[in-house]
Structure 1
Amino acid sequence: MSPRALFFAASVFGLMALQTPAQADVDPQELVEPIAEYKLYVLDNLDQFVSHTEKFTQAIEAGDLERAQALYAPTRVYYERIEPIAELFADLDASIDAREDDYEHGVEDPDFTGFHRLEYGLFKEQTTQGFTPYAKQLMTDVNDLEARVQDLTFPPAQVVGGAAALMEEVAATKVSGEEDRYSHTDLWDFQGNVDGSQKIFELFKPLVAEQDPAFVERVEENFTAVEATLAHYRREADNPEAGFVSYEKVSETDRRAFVGPVTVLAEDLATLRGKLGL
């Protein structure tokens, strides 16, 4: 374990000790290292999230519509990866990532802020004019999120359960195309959710591999199937940083093809907490 991970391990050890080993299939102390490594993953993504959000919001404030549109999707990826932790702060999650459907007056509601409020302006109204206050608020919220997570003790059940929650979100809002309805950048968010879910699974996989190798093999095969379908829609096959084509270009056949492995993944990963005694 790295020195940073050792530091974080110390912060979660006390929480692990509160669990009763007799009730778990895995010794609670075995969860300390993967939880610590996951916190490093979250903090690294938060660091990138802050940096990308700065560039994104600066483009809006400068009135650079084309650059702001280009930065929208690659900025959100970092948030999508760490949603199991970000959603622990309900106020910030609502401010950063709520959709217009969550508000009685939709885009006219004064409480509707964050990425999707900006998405509406950038891609529907095709303007940055009047959106500087929303950009500034987003930057404030993202900085606040990073500050709160620094000293957070990660709840093990929330972390492990996050693997399934991320895939459930893909099935619920990504495949339909409803989340990024104006930018049609859903595949970027899709990839972020898959990345975050797969990271959690990989960290805890060694703890369940011996007791249930068939489970591990099935999950790995379904992740591979989802990644293969996503790869088909990359702008550049050998350059993941180039991102994806518009979701409007994804065929109905492939949209349906996503549903099977995503649903199975969500169902299988939902059993991970039980396998770890959480």
Structure 2
Amino acid sequence: MADAVSAYHAYVAERLGELRVHVTALKAQIGNADTDAARATWLSAQQTWQRVGAAYGSFGDLGNAIAPGSRGLEGGATSPDFAGLRRIEYGLWHGQTPGELMPVVGKLLTDLDALEAHLPETAVEPADMPLRLHEILEDSVRDHLSGLGDQGSGMALALTSADVDATQEVLGLLRGLLEGRRKGYPAAVDAQLRQLSAAVDAARSPSGEWVPYRDVPLEQRQHVNGAIGRALESLALAPALFSTD
């Protein structure tokens, strides 16, 4: 498990580097009041963060600063404590000015500096790796497909797709250990994740654009919900395979 944890942290470090590139571009686009470009870059940045697999508050307060939601804050999205990528999403889809958003982007870059600098200190515990495998898609249901985390973009499917990527990455890191405990289990989960990816992709527009989840026909949403439910039921077994008496 130590090898899996080490490989996961190397993977996270690469994603954080990609995130910095996106946020730096976002700063320039917001500064130039180029809302369309900034919205596209925001989505790339948020998807990159989802691919980190930072579910259930992993990486502590440093991780929570990157893309916190507004739930629980007094005033919700209008709270002065609302920050990070989700705060930028709110501003971009609610007509806020560069003057309102530039300080948010600046703080996000500072918080990203802190997370990168202290990443070794926020190491994932070996016992948490199987939990991570399950919790990433739980976050998809709780925050994205429910609509509770949305701040205006409607990009639940795009973010769920990124969560599938993160889940597949963690599954790959744990594949040998999982196969040793239950033969055929990783392959079965792989198949279900492919089915989920196919259901998510089928809900895109004919030109391949991401569609706000509220605009997706009911039948396609049902396919997504069914596929993610099946995958979560299977993934729930992973932590138990590593439990001890």
TM score, norm. by length of structure 2: 0.88
Could you list the runs of 5+ residues in structure 2 that have no partner in the other structure? Answer: none
**Aligned pairs, number:** 244
1:206-226 Cα deviation digits (max 9, x unpaired): 222244234334312210110
Q: Is contact 2:144–2:159 with CA below 8 Å preserved after alignment?
A: yes
Partner of 1:118: 88
SS of the residue corresponding to residue 224 of structure 2 reads: helix
Give secondary structure in 2 for the equivalent of 1:206.
helix
Q: Which residue among 214, 229, 232 is the counterpart of 1:263?
A: 229
Structure 1 residue aligned with 2:149, among 179, 187, 199? Answer: 179
Q: Which amino acid aligns with 2:135?
A: A
Q: What is the rounded CA distance, in whole Å, between the counterparts of 2:54 and 2:71 in structure 1?
A: 21
Tell me what 1:107 maps to.
77
Shift of 1:126: 5.4
- Opposite residue 116 of structure 1, the aligned amino acid is R
Cα separation, 2, equivalents of 1:224 and 1:193: 13
Give 1:212-231 correspondences, 5 Å limit: 212-231=182-201
Is residue 190 from structure 1 mapped to residue 160 from structure 2 by the alignment?
A: yes
Q: Distance in 2 between matches of 1:207 and 1:45?
A: 24
Supply the distance in 2 between the matched residues of 1:144 and 1:110 (Cα, whole angstroms): 21
Q: Which range moves more in the overlay, 201-210 or 125-134? A: 125-134
Distance 1:235 1:147 in 2: 40
Please say if residues 184 and 248 of structure 1, whose CA atoms lie closer than 8 Å, have aligned partners that are also in contact: yes
- Give the conservation status (yes or no) of the 8 Å contact 1:60–1:131: yes
Distance 1:227 1:38 in 2: 22
| 1:153-168 aligned within 5 A | 153-168=123-138
CA drift of 1:277 comes to 4.0
Kept in 1: contact 2:60–2:122 (CA 8 A) = no
| Residue of structure 2 equivalent to 1:7 | none
1:66 Cα deviation from its structure 2 partner: 2.0
Distance 1:94 1:153 in 2: 15
Q: Distance in 1 between matches of 2:123 and 2:91?
A: 37
Deviation at 1:160, TM superposition (A): 2.3
Paired residues of 2:55 and 2:136 also in contact (CA < 8 A): no
The answer to whether residue 8 in structure 2 is matched with residue 38 in structure 1 is yes
Match of 2:216 in 1: 250
SS of structure 2 residue aligned to 1:134: helix
Per the TM alignment, residue 182 of structure 1 is displaced from its structure 2 partner at its CA by 0.4
Distance across 2 between alignment mates of 1:151 and 1:90? 10
Distance across 2 between alignment mates of 1:190 and 1:66: 22
- Secondary structure of the residue that 2:100 maps to in structure 1? coil
Q: Once superposed, what is the RMSD of the aligned Cα atoms?
A: 2.4
Q: Distance in 2 between matches of 1:123 and 1:276?
A: 43
Structure 2 distance, partners of 1:129, 1:66, is 17
Q: CA offsets, 1:242-261, max 9 Å, x none?
A: 76233343222222222222
Residue matched to 1:75: 45
Percent identity reads: 24
Decide whether the 8 Å contact of 1:69 with 1:122 is kept in 2: yes
SS at match of 2:71: helix
Structure 1 alignment gaps of length 5 or more: 1-30
Report how far residue 236 of structure 1 moved. Answer: 8.0
Q: Normalization by structure 1: what TM-score?
A: 0.78
User: SS state of the match for residue 96, structure 1?
Assistant: coil
**Preserved contact between residue 122 and residue 128 of structure 1 (Cα < 8 Å):** no
CA–CA distance in 1 between the matches of 2:7 and 2:179?
A: 19
